[in-house]
Amino acid sequence: MKFRRFTLEDCHNATGIVLIIDVLRAFSTAAYAFSRGAEEIRLVSRIEEALALKSKLTNAKAMGEVGGLPPKGFDFGNSPTRILEHDLTGITLIQRTGAGTQGAVRAVNADVMLATSFVTARATMNYISKLKPEIVNFLITGGMGNDEDVACADYLEQQFTGQAVEAESFIKRVYAARDALQHMEEHPQFPYSDLDYCSRIDKFDFALPIERKDGFLIMRPVRP
């Protein structure tokens, strides 16, 4: 198995299987939203798109951020801590973030896409392994300087290739990452507990494939 890495700038060149990684916090938050009963998540690029779609769908709410904060008209931000406070049973979420959802929108030539983070790592691997790919592409949505996303790619690559993995070292990389700094300031939209929730490796037994359907990008949990 071979591995390639892309960013938001060149992910349109990625074909085949693309693991779209956003650890802090989009796809960690998405996983926790499903654990609270969300029906599906639709991924979009723009705030206006999210709000328009929310107005058209029954039982829909908008979730996400601009600069880490929920835009006006959004029901939820981008925090697993905060999303766990809500019962989302039967809710369709429309998610817009500055990194994770942008990757899904821009990976236009991917055949298979999965929203990826540490909390769904093993399930993602199991889902992909059944496809027996020759190449796995990692889309580092925060850029190569976002060490938590790079760490997740490193972790998955080592697991795929059967290397010994010390989970604690990867958890430390999340806490030491640049984007972790804003969680040290006791801001309500950047709770410190998010770092714990986002670094719980294999917390969930489902993967998060993203399907293109009727012009939408739709995510639902799948247990491989």
Q: What is the pLDDT of residues 135-155, one digit of tens each?
A: 999 999 999 988 999 999 999
**Gap between the Cα atoms of 153 and 97, Å rounded:** 20
The packing angle between helices 147-160 and 167-176, to 10°, is: 160
Across the chain, where does the E strand assignment appear?
Answer: 2-6, 16-21, 40-43, 60-64, 92-96, 110-116, 135-140, 208-213, 216-219
- Which single residue is written with the structure tokens 């796809």? 27
Q: Are 139 and 147 in contact (CB under 8 A)?
A: no
User: Does a structural domain hold residue 127?
Assistant: yes
Mean pLDDT, the chain, integer: 97
- Region class of 162: left (phi > 0), else alpha (psi between -120 and 50), else beta: left
Alpha carbon distance, N-terminus to C-terminus of the chain: 20
Q: Does the global pTM surpass 0.95?
A: yes
User: Does a structural domain hold residue 224?
Assistant: no
Is the confidence at residue 215, as pLDDT, over 90?
Answer: yes
**What is the tens place of the pLDDT at every residue in 39-63?**
999 999 999 999 999 999 999 999 9
Q: Which domain holds residue 124?
A: 2-219
pLDDT score for 146: 85
Q: In the structure, what pLDDT confidence band is assigned to residue 70 with cuts at 50, 70 and 90?
A: very high
pLDDT score for 79: 98
CATH number of the domain encompassing residue 130: 3.90.1560.10
| Beta strands at 208-213 and 216-219: parallel, antiparallel or unpaired | antiparallel
Is the confidence at residue 186, as pLDDT, over 90?
Answer: no
Amino acid at 126: N
pLDDT score for 93: 98
Amino acid at 134: E
**What is the tens place of the pLDDT at every residue in 14-43?**
999 999 999 999 999 999 999 999 999 999
Q: How large is the average pLDDT for residues 195-214? A: 98
**Domains contained in the chain, number:** 1
